[in-house]
């Protein structure tokens, strides 16, 4: 699957669009500096070309991604049938970004509109400096258990 095909699916597939709007985090998998695997939830957004999230620049996931930028991520529902977006990609990190607008917008779905104003005011008052991470997808798979199932078929799979 080419990057252009990935972007087309990400920007137009109804299941993917439902997942991108849902108040659920992405779970990012990466290799820690000690070589062990890690998975962490992150508030993220899809900017039309990549997955974006922000984090304090000295947090373990940022130092690990600086050393090894290859990641996997999933966004999935807990209802039945589950909708699942699986992706693999490469992370790039922009440092010294202050408090990126992407961080605020990525948090909006998780925080909720009713609490957003208070949360945003508190975060802005802290005058945070964040690292902005963009994950460019190199592979995706969408599973809806209606027309697209796990395993071979529907979309390419890899080991």
pLDDT tens for 28-58 read: 999 999 999 999 999 999 999 999 999 999 9
CATH number of the domain enclosing 53: 2.30.110.10
Q: Is residue 36 part of a domain?
A: yes
70-76 and 51-55 beta bridge pairing: unpaired
- Asked whether residue 55 is domain-assigned, the answer is yes
d(CA 159, CA 157): 7
Q: What are 100's two structure tokens?
A: 């990126």
Can you say whether the dihedral through the CA atoms of 147, 42, 95, 97 is positive or negative? positive
Confirm whether 46 is domain-assigned: yes
Reply yes or no on whether the pLDDT at 118 is more than 90. Answer: yes
Cα Rg for the chain, rounded, in angstroms? Answer: 16
Output the CA–CA distances (angstroms, integers) from residue 90 to 67, 94, 134, 154, in the order listed: 12, 13, 8, 24
Both tokens of 53, joined, read 């999230």
User: How much of the chain, in percent, has pLDDT values that exceed 90?
Assistant: 82
Domain count for the chain: 1
- pTM of the full predicted structure? 0.89
Output the six-digit token pair for 109. Answer: 């779905």
pLDDT bucket at 127, cuts 50 / 70 / 90: confident
pLDDT at residue 84 is higher than 60: yes
Say if 157 falls within a structural domain: no
Q: How confident is the model at residue 149 (pLDDT cuts 50, 70, 90)?
A: confident
CA–CA separation, 151 vs 55, rounded Å? 33
Residue 156 lies in a domain: no
Residue 156 has pLDDT above 70, yes or no: no
Q: Determine the average pLDDT of the residues in 59-88.
A: 95
Most distant pair of Cα atoms in the chain: their distance: 50
Has residue 115 been placed in a domain?
yes
Residues spanned by the domain of 48: 3-143
Q: How confident is the model at residue 73 (pLDDT cuts 50, 70, 90)?
A: very high
What pLDDT does residue 154 have?
Answer: 47
Res 153 pLDDT > 60 = no
Q: Regarding predicted confidence, which is higher, 80 or 40?
A: 40
- Whether 112 is in a domain gets the answer yes
Residue 57: both structure tokens together: 């620049």
């Amino acid at each position: 699957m080419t990057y252009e095909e990935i972007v087309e699916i990400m920007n137009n597939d109804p299941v993917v669009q439902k997942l991108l709007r849902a108040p659920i985090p992405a779970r990012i998998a990466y290799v820690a500096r000690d070589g062990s695997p890690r998975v962490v939830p992150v508030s993220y957004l899809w900017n039309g070309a990549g997955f974006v999230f922000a984090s304090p620049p000295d947090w373990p996931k940022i130092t690990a991604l600086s050393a090894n930028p290859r990641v996997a991520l999933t966004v999935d529902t807990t209802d039945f049938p589950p909708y699942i977006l699986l992706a693999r990609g490469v992370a790039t990190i922009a440092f010294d970004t202050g408090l990126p607008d992407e961080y605020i917008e990525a948090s909006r779905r998780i925080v909720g509109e009713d609490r957003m104003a208070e949360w945003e005011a508190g975060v802005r008052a802290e005058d945070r400096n964040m690292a902005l991470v963009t994950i460019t997808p190199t592979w995706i798979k969408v599973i809806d258990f209606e027309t697209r199932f796990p395993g071979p078929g529907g979309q390419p799979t890899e080991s």
